[in-house]
Amino acid sequence: MYRYIIALSVMILFTSSSPLLAMQQKIDNHVLKYTEVDRAPILLTEISPNYPEEALKNHMEGSVVLRLTVGTDGHVHDIKVIKSTDKIFEKPAIDAAKNLLFKPGQKDGKNVTVSIVMPIMFKIR
């Protein structure tokens, strides 16, 4: 049986020249970009997405980049795949993201809804 590690991290992008930032679509007026807040959302929970059986059998590794919205309550909404190395990893990444909890982003001392980009890595170790 294979042991695997799934790396989950929040990528906060600081430069407007980033290709991922260029991929970010227009966001509703009530949802702020992470560059517009005083404090970006902070990940509070660690999760381990289910590694697809077929990917394990075929020794496949990959990644999925998600755009998601963190609400004022810290829960995740509006999860969209921006990029993935293989479709086999997309559903497990989305399912895992649904269970994330964040300390909400803040603007002027108030909790705000923020759009962030998050990569999820699937690696066999």
pLDDT in tens, 77-101: 999 999 999 999 999 999 999 999 9
| pLDDT(19) > 60 | no
User: How many Cα atoms sit within 13 Å of 14 on the Cβ side?
Assistant: 2
Residue 28 pLDDT: 43
| Candidate from 21-30, 49-58, 61-70 with smallest mean pLDDT | 21-30
Mean pLDDT rounded to a whole number for the chain? 82
DSSP state of 22: H
Query: 9 and 118 in contact (C-beta within 8 Å)?
Result: yes
User: pTM for the full model?
Assistant: 0.75
Total length of the chain: 125
Total domains present in the chain: 1
pLDDT digits (tens, 9 = 90+) for 30-47: 899 888 999 999 999 988
| pLDDT(48) > 90 | no
CA dist., res. 7 & res. 19, Å (int): 21
Query: 15: which 2 tokens?
Result: 């430069």
Helix or strand run (H / E) with residue 19: helix 19-23
Owning domain of residue 21 = 4-124
| pLDDT(50) > 60 | yes
CATH code assigned at 104: 3.30.2420.10
